[in-house]
Amino acid sequence: MNRVLCSTGAIITKRNGRDFNLLREIVPHIACDGLEFMMYQSWHDQTGALKKVLSDFEVPVLHMTKQIGEWISQGNLADAQAMFRADCALAEAVQSKLLVLHLWSGQASDQHIERNIAAYPRLREIAEKHGLLLTVENVICNQRDPMARMRTLAEEYPDISFTFDTKMAAFHSQLEELYRPENAWLWPHIAHFHVNDYAGGHMDWAHMGVKQLGQGHIDFDRFFAFVPGMGYAGDFTCEATSVNEDGTIRYDELNASLGRIRGYEKEACQ
């Protein structure tokens, strides 16, 4: 059965000081099979401490620093590659196997997509030297849309792997595109899923927050009924923020989302 992971981005936020040491206190209360560790730029001088904390947990997936894609978009390839290498070294040290990359990101987004596309093979080469599978996420665009960008990447690099985020797709009104037979080209490329709900409209920037399952309008019954037919055998990560204003965690809410994902998985295996 596919593993159900919790993103550390759902439990370590500005509201609790982005203190990764809190993982030792928080994670035992979460009903997940492991973590997707979300790396922040501000932690790059604390990798020694990070390794010690993460050694206590299963961390199958590492979500790379978001500035990597932004810097590539801006033309700052050298710094982007240096940060990418550092993330790869951390991922290898904590025995992760899969990387999630925002190949384009930030204000620049996909405005200079040709730079991002050209950078991909070198990044993949670095990842493979660390024994890691690099996946590119269908992150929000401000020029085109994620499906168009993924299609271009798949045409340029036929063996590329993607992380597909349900909320990111819904933001662009593209979750329906996943189910269309004419987009079957995409299915073999998906190596990881982010399972998050969305309560906004088409490119609704004012309501783009990540929601727990059931707090938005995504039809997860349909989604989980469809995914097994794709031949998908990877993991599912929940990223829905579960931190209160005072830094405490809404465990019941988060575990309800994780439990719902696990329930769908059990049904699929029966």
256 HSE (CA, 13 A, CB side): 11
Helix axis angle for 47-54 and 77-93, nearest 10°, is 30
Residue 266 pLDDT > 80: no
Over residues 142-184, the pLDDT tens digits come to 999 999 999 999 999 999 999 999 999 999 999 999 999 999 9
DSSP-derived letter for residue 39 is P
Model pTM?
Answer: 0.97
Per-residue pLDDT, averaged over 200-224, amounts to 94
Superfamily of domain 4-269 in the CATH hierarchy: Divalent-metal-dependent TIM barrel enzymes (3.20.20.150)
d(CA 34, CA 217): 27
Give the model's confidence band at 265: pLDDT under 50 very low, under 70 low, under 90 confident, else very high: confident
Own/partner long-range contacts of 19-22 (Cβ < 8 Å, ≥24 apart): 20/46, 20/49, 20/50, 20/53, 21/49, 21/53
pLDDT for the residue 269:
65
**pLDDT tens figures, 42-79:** 999 999 999 999 999 999 999 999 999 999 999 999 99
Report the distance separating Cα 69 and Cα 61, nearest Å.
18
pLDDT tens-digit map of 108-146: 999 999 999 999 999 999 999 999 999 999 999 999 999
Mean pLDDT, all residues of the chain? 96
| Helical spans, DSSP H, in the chain | 23-26, 47-54, 67-74, 77-93, 113-129, 146-156, 166-171, 175-179, 220-226, 251-269
Give the pLDDT of residue 219: 98
Domain boundaries of the chain, sorted by first residue: 4-269
Q: Is the pLDDT of residue 13 over 70?
A: yes
Tell me the mean pLDDT in the region 99-106: 97
Tell me the mean pLDDT in the region 212-228.
97
The yes-or-no verdict on residue 221 having pLDDT over 90 is: yes
For residue 14, the tally of other CB atoms under 10 A from its CB is 8
Count how many Cα atoms sit within 13 Å of the Cα of residue 27 in the half-sphere of its side chain. Answer: 24
